[in-house]
Structure 1
C-alpha cells in the first residue's frame, strides 16, 4: 500500500513536457473549473470565458516546452489566465454589469444561492445575498476583483497573487484588504 498522494502538479507538468499526455489530462481535470470560474467572474460572460480559458490552455501548451517549476504550477497557470484577461481588457474596454435581469446574472445568482434545504423564503434571501455579492464584485476595481478572485477561486496566497499579477506583495495585500472591506460593507445588511 502506497502512502504517497496524487502526484504534484509540477511533477505532472514535467511528465507532460516529457511526452505523457495523460499527465496533462490530470492537470486539466484538476484546474479547468477553478480557472474557468476565475475568468468567468472577471468577464461576466460564460461564452467569452470559454473562449478566453481555451486561449489560456492553448497558451499553456505553447509554452510547455519552456516550463520550469520555479513556482507552483497553479500560480503559473493563473498567471497565464491573468495575462489573457489583461490582453482582453486592453482590446475590449467594455465591462457589462452582471445583474439578475440578465439570463447570465440570474443563473449565477441561482448557482451561488444553491439549494440549502430551507424553504422558499430562505432561498429567496440566499439568492438576494448571492446577487448582492455579484453586484459588489462587479463594483470592485478590476485589480481588486482579480486579487480577490485569485484568492477565493484559485486558493492562492498573497505572495502567489503578487507573482501572478506582477505586482509587489504589499500591493497584492492592499488590493485584497480593500476588496474585502468593500465586499463586507456591501453585504453588511445580510449579516
Structure 2
C-alpha cells in the first residue's frame, strides 16, 4: 500500500514522495458503489475487542430516498445490527435502526458510522477535494477534508483500491478493497483501529 502522512499541527497534507498535486477546476468524488447498484449479500466475519461474530450482511440501495440500508444477521437469522446511511445532504445522514445489546456501545456505533460512510463515500457538500497523481503509474489519490478529518482514496486506473481515514496525526480507520466489479465491491475488509474492530466481507450469491 502506498504510504503517506499528515502534519501534526494542521490539516495540510504531506504526500508520499513521487506524487504530484493535480491542478483541476473540478474533482469528482470516488465511486465505489455505482449509481445502478441495487443489492449485494456478503459472508461476514466481525471481530471487535476480542469477540467474534459471523453471518451475512445485506447491503441494499433504496433508490427512492438515495439511502444505503445495511443489515448484519447470523446464519440462523439473528439480527446483529441494522443501519441506514442517507446520501442526500438534506437528509439525516446516519440512523441505527437496531443493534444487539452486547454491541450497543457508543464506540462501536461510531466506528460503524465512520466505516460505512467511508465505504459509501458520504461527505458534506462543502468538503474540500485534492488530487495527487503518480508520474509513472496510473495511480492517483483523492484527499477529502471536512475540516476535522482527512480521508484518502487510492485509485488504480478507475478502481478504488484502499481508503484511509485520519483524525489528528493517526490513522483512524481503513478499508482494503480486494475485488471490485463494475458496479460494487465483491470482497473488502474494514479496519477501525480506535474501536479495535474488523469486518471481512466476501460476496455470496443467495438463491
TM-score interval, normalised by the smaller of the two chains: under 0.3
Structure showing the higher strand proportion among its residues: 2
**TM-score for the superposition, normalised by structure 2:** 0.24
Structure showing the higher helix proportion among its residues: 1
Higher-Rg structure is 1
